[in-house]
Amino acid sequence: MRTLPELSRDLALGKTTSEKLVLACLENIADPLGEGARAFIKVYADTALVAARGSDAARAKGQIASAIAGIPISIKDLFDVRGDVTRAGSRLLADSPPATADAPVIARLRKAGAILLGRTNMTEFAYGAHGMNAHYGTPLNPWDRGTRRIPGGSTSGGAVSVTDGMAAATIGSDTGGSVRVPSALCGITGFKPTQARVPLAGAFPLSFTRDSIGPLGHSVTCCAWLDAVMASTNVETPEARPLKGMRLGVPKTVLLDGLAPQVAEAFDRALASLSMAGAIIEEFDFPELQREIDGSKRANFSAVEAYALHRGRLATHLDEFDPRVAKRLLLGANMSAADYVDLLHLRQSLIASANVATAGYTALLAPTVPIVAPAIADMESSEEFFLRINGLLLRNCAPFNVLDRPCWSLPCHRHGDAPVGLMVIGETMADRSLQVIGLAIETALKTTR
């Protein structure tokens, strides 16, 4: 699969055109043997071609909006697009009024010249890390497709649109791992920024405390370019920096518990490669992670805030929800206001103490997800199995939304093996620094793949 820098270079050299790129993506979306019908909720075929031809005409005149001009991308079905209905992966919103304006991130992508291909499928209302959708179907994980495995969520269709050549990259959201989980399970790269870096306006919310918006693509630079556009900063390739001398901390608390053999093997191999490249790998205790898990047992930000948002719909249209989503949303009704206030105070305490605990490290490392993608049939076999797996998918990622840390998920498995992600965690608002670190780690990981 081609990266954004490769596509941008080919466009600049006249080796391809935006129209050709869009047509190739649309052909893959329309392939009756492919995943297009499940990966996309709506395809902007006509408007994408018009925009691509306009981009080619502008390029011929020397008018190039940015490095991503003319490149086709997909967007998660929770972003407002002027004149279109934002469904957030649900049938409940299908009759809602069309958006009157683009979400800021959409407006910025358009201004930069990106071509919007369509809206991608997702877990209903983004409430679940599995990527299954009872209304629009579940796009299949590209690995071991015959087994029909989950893609991870909630940015499920977006991840599959990238792996299957239906888009060069995609834009998703991450509240407890919804960018990183599908990136890890599908074998691509995802970036969750510090929450304040990218505006949330015009994105259908899940948890106003933990929501963030980030890209998924084929490389660190792909994601860094899209992140820069959405954050309204200069589009630049992260500078090359050697790993030698970087102190990389590996939290022993929670994140390494019960790893699937494939995950443990890939993670150990990745650490060995980083060490050989000169990084200093240190395990350390990080009790804040256990404190966060314990504190979220009585009240959970996503549960409380999502229930508050959906309680009216739950009271009047319960049977129209995906039953798996509805049941989890209703758990928020039983959480007390006092416990929620305690959780708010705990969060501030955890952020302060975690900042001290990790100050000596260049970045932190952990497996993005402790398991590999299970089969959809297994997820549907019992409610107990479904809930346990959904919790495992979120376990390593969600604490860093509470701590408001930027994170990468970088593929660290060998080609042909089950996809495994390496999570690289930075300091709050140090997103650009983490992108430089991510590029260095990506380069070292290529020796293990």
Q: Give CA 109 to chain center in angstroms.
A: 17
Sign, CA torsion 83/89/93/94: positive
In degrees and rounded to multiples of 5, residue 73 shows phi and psi of -130, 160
Catalytic residue among 178, 212, 219, 302: 178
Catalytic residue among 90, 154, 156, 219: 154
Strand partners, 247: 280
Nearest alpha carbon to residue 275 among 427, 448, 406:
448
Catalytic residue among 66, 76, 173, 302: 76
Q: Is 178 a catalytic residue?
A: yes
Q: Provide CB contacts within 8 A for 358, sequence distance 6+.
A: 249, 286, 364, 427
Q: Is 382 a catalytic residue?
A: no
Given strand 421-425, what is the order of strands in its sheet? 40-43, 115-120, 72-76, 169-173, 213-217, 189-192, 407-411, 421-425, 363-367, 247-251, 280-284
Dist. CA 123–CA 128, nearest whole Å: 6
Q: Torsion-angle region of residue 367: left (phi > 0), alpha (psi -120 to 50) or beta? A: beta
- The three-class DSSP label of residue 57 is helix
Q: Is 154 a catalytic residue?
A: yes
Q: Encoding tokens for residue 273?
A: 């490669």
Catalytic positions, written as ranges? 76, 154, 178
